Amino acid sequence: MRMRSTVAGAAALVLAASGCAGGPAEVGDPARQPEGAEGRSLPPGEPENVATGLRTPWDIAFLPDGAALVSERDSGRVVRVEPGKDTEEAGVVEGVASGGEGGLLGLAISPDFASDSAVYAYFTTDDDNRIVRMDYDRAEGLGAAEVVVDKIPKASTHNGGRIAFGPDGMLYAGTGDAGSPERSQDIDSPAGKILRMTPEGEPAEGNPFDNLVYSYGHRNVQGLAWDEDGQLFGVEFGQNTFDEVNMIQPGANYGWPEVEGTGGGDDYVDPIVTWSTEEASPSGVAVADGSLWVAALRGERLWRVPLTGDEDAPVLEPEALYVGEYGRLRAVAAEPGGAAVWVSTSNHDGRGVAAEDDDRLLRVPLED
């Protein structure tokens, strides 16, 4: 393993969430770097393996007892992971059609799990992407899948797939444009959007349109997370130039395919952080210890993005951790209590180089 490494100052930061009025495929320039990030250090503890021998783990969802369920994209398996214990198979989700970037993707645990035992999954079928609900009991495993939302466009790439319950108790889902960029600007299509729904799959009260759409103009949303004030952040792949972290507002248009990165006009909302695609290809995101933690696939690093709570300058300079040490990083989740983040590698996804123990789930301590 290489020495632990950190790189600061590589990402471009945008100081205001304003937008761009431009022609098709317009690419904005990176903004200047803000001051104030000096003195940060690596997390205090070395990452440690929680699980090894996984195959393309895609998402991590914590259960109330502190164990986590982890999805495997290509096998359709869900496994239960707990530090110091053997990995257990929770079940196989029926109907998963893996291929390209599709397969078993996001997982979310019901906020009422103690009473309803519900686990949600986002996956690709032969016909579409969909969200299902299943009962989960450790002794019995996963139950039969009940469709919550279907007919989300699928393709070999840009399937989105991250799901999470927000602090409002609603279920959010990030989708991709499924290879048809024009869908992202069509508010009647679920593709290229962040969706917000009730646990039963109905449009949530307060949605900006008369459907599931919460925000639009996205290319391929891969991560969703909220800060302590309830602000939603989304991360997504760019095309060739800029990957993005966005502050999500209901009804807002984030520009794809009319703009990639920062535009600086009024028609589209600008990202608060942009990276080159070589530095990132950002996937999962979590909030812990006052920062966003973003897993990077192509960038092979874990990004820490300190949050300020200031709407005009919401983040400080991002810092890259463990560059190249673990290969491609896919999912990141905050451990209950915030003492650590868990990160999964994705070196069996056809684009990485797998080490002997890959794929693995790492625990990164944030406290001494």
Instruction: Categorise residue 36: left if φ over 0, alpha if ψ from -120 to 50, beta otherwise.
Output: left
Site of tokens 């009260």: 205
- pLDDT value, residue 360: 98
Averaged pLDDT, groups of 10, the chain, 368 residues long: 44 48 47 40 83 98 98 99 97 98 99 99 99 98 99 99 99 99 99 99 98 99 98 97 98 97 90 97 98 98 97 96 98 97 98 96 92
- pLDDT value, residue 23: 40
- pLDDT value, residue 8: 53
Domains and CATH numbers, the chain: 6-37+44-365 (2.120.10.30)
- pLDDT value, residue 12: 62
Contact predicate 364/44, CB 8 Å: no
Residue 331: phi and psi, rounded to 5, are -115, 150
pTM value is: 0.92
- pLDDT value, residue 218: 99
Question: Which residues lie below 8 Å from residue 127, measured CB to CB, with a gap of 6+?
Answer: 154
- CA pair distance 308, 4, nearest whole angstrom: 26
Give the CB-side neighbour count of residue 297, counting CA atoms within 13 A: 25
Kindly report whether the peptide bond that precedes residue 359 is cis, defined as omega within 30 degrees of 0.
yes
- pLDDT value, residue 338: 95
- CA pair distance 129, 99, nearest whole angstrom: 12
* Chain segment 15-57, per-residue pLDDT in tens: 433 443 334 445 554 533 334 444 455 676 799 999 999 999 9
- pLDDT value, residue 263: 84
- pLDDT value, residue 341: 98
Query: What is the separation, in whole angstroms, between the first and last Cα of the chain?
Result: 23
Task: Quote the radius of gyration of the chain (alpha carbons, Å).
Answer: 19
Residue 185: phi and psi, rounded to 5, are -95, 0
